[in-house]
Chains A and B, each alone.
Chain A
């Protein structure tokens, strides 16, 4: 019952509560299908962020197990797990330094030494792709707007070629134009490279060209909503 086929992530009887707090999730059984775009919805405080954080082990279940590609998360190497599942939090963090430093930060970590460090040409291309043509690699990160910074963080994460995306309201701090760019780009990637995506968003991100599903996080549960029900 708790072993859905074809799932990249599956929750096996997972319960979670913050220390000294009420139970947030109880006996979650859920499969996340590979290559699908999931829109994660739910009232605030219901645990949407925590749901994503459990997948990259920023929180550990109080009970039960989560599997990534059939391997229990407890058996994974945390740095490797986190670079193959890109998690973008709601508020982007600007470290001290230039745009180049910011983009190359992951390549300074020990666990990423096996990855090829991208050159300036590649980095500039990526900036252009996300409509950041007026941003130069030598600019200081602190001079960027929140919207630009959010896109920069997204580009940085993608340099690690993740196989799954967890996005926690990535467009909440963006202007409508940038938000559309980021959302469209995510959708395109999800479609062309089969990137499994979980995106928390209050907006409407439905798309006909995607394998699209909705997840509702509420009352200690995460439920799949069928497309028809949602339209009704």
Chain B
């Protein structure tokens, strides 16, 4: 086994709060009114991560495929829920299509990565499947939220362009083609950019973790490469599927735009 990372004691964790305190003082001095969010964020970080730690311990110990899949399902559910809140569009409901498309595509991506690229046996081995699928979901969640925000924004902003095209005989796909392009691009660009900067500008979180845990950097970079390519693929699939599914809901049966300019 590789050597363990140094244990961080409770007191050391509490000491870490000085950083939050510093941020809080800044907020008060400049009346940024972020104190409430800082407090809530700190509490949530502690509670959520401790809960996750214990949960993972239990799931690792149980070592059963069903528990791994249930956790996976929950992660997808919360990701879809977060996207729904972030996009905040009341006129169109899109929770269900996001949930289903994320579930299917990310299961496929995570499976390919653990079973083929990493070659874990069995493919659902919690130590591999949970963190890798978690990264897929977390990153694509951002990509999907960015894509959807952009898409809805463009549809509203370019309402006149879209209706002009519809009135000249375009169907809803033709009329919204450029908005789809711009939305999917917006979702994909961050993961492509991070492929450019990785290793030069930053050491990615997962690799950092492995190195801290004592892994050989040459092993860690291999994992990181797998993760980078996996994220590019999953953000692309996620953005495309979700924008396509949501687009159908933004137009009615007469190919008319349902999104109204208000709210």
Contacts and interface: CB of A to CB of B under 8 A. Distances in A.
A73 B253 CA distance: 11
A110 B174 contact: yes
Interface in B162-212: 163-171, 174
Contacts of B167: 56, 58, 82, 86-87, 89, 157
B70 to A, nearest CB: 38
A62 interface: no
Contacts of B160: 89, 91, 93
B174 A59 contact: no
Contact of A112 (B161, B166, B169, B255): B169
Contacts of B256: 57-60, 78
Contact of B169 (A59, A79, A153): A79
Interface of B: 91, 160-161, 163-171, 174, 252-257, 260
Contact of B164 (A19, A57, A59, A89): A89
B169 A60 contact: no
Contacts, number: 75
B260 A110 contact: no
Interface string A51-65: 000001111100000
Contact of A109 (B161, B168, B253): B168
Contacts of A105: 165, 168
A80 B257 CA distance: 17
A118 to B, nearest CB: 14
B254 to A, nearest CB: 4
Given A78-B254, A109-B174, A19 B168 contact: no
Nearest to B256: A58
B180 to A, nearest CB: 16
B175 to A, nearest CB: 9
22 contacts: A19-B260, A57-B255, A58-B254, A59-B256, A74-B254, A78-B254, A79-B255, A83-B168, A83-B169, A89-B160, A89-B164, A93-B160, A93-B161, A95-B161, A105-B168, A106-B169, A109-B165, A109-B170, A109-B171, A110-B171, A111-B170, A156-B168
A82 B172 CA distance: 13
Interface of A: 18-19, 56-60, 73-74, 78-80, 82-83, 86-87, 89, 91, 93, 95, 105-106, 108-112, 153, 156-157, 160
A160 B163 contact: no
A156 B260 CA distance: 26
Contacts of B91: 19
A106 B169 CA distance: 7
A82 B171 contact: no
Nearest to B252: A60
Contacts of A74: 253-254
Contacts of A157: 167-168
Contacts of B174: 108-110
A157 B68 CA distance: 59
A57 B252 CA distance: 10
A164 to B, nearest CB: 12
Given A57-B256, A60-B256, A111 B171 contact: yes
Given A89-B163, A109-B170, 7 more contacts: A57-B254, A58-B257, A74-B253, A78-B256, A83-B168, A110-B171, A110-B174
B152 to A, nearest CB: 16
A108 B169 CA distance: 10
Nearest to A82: B167
Contact of A80 (B169, B253, B260): B169
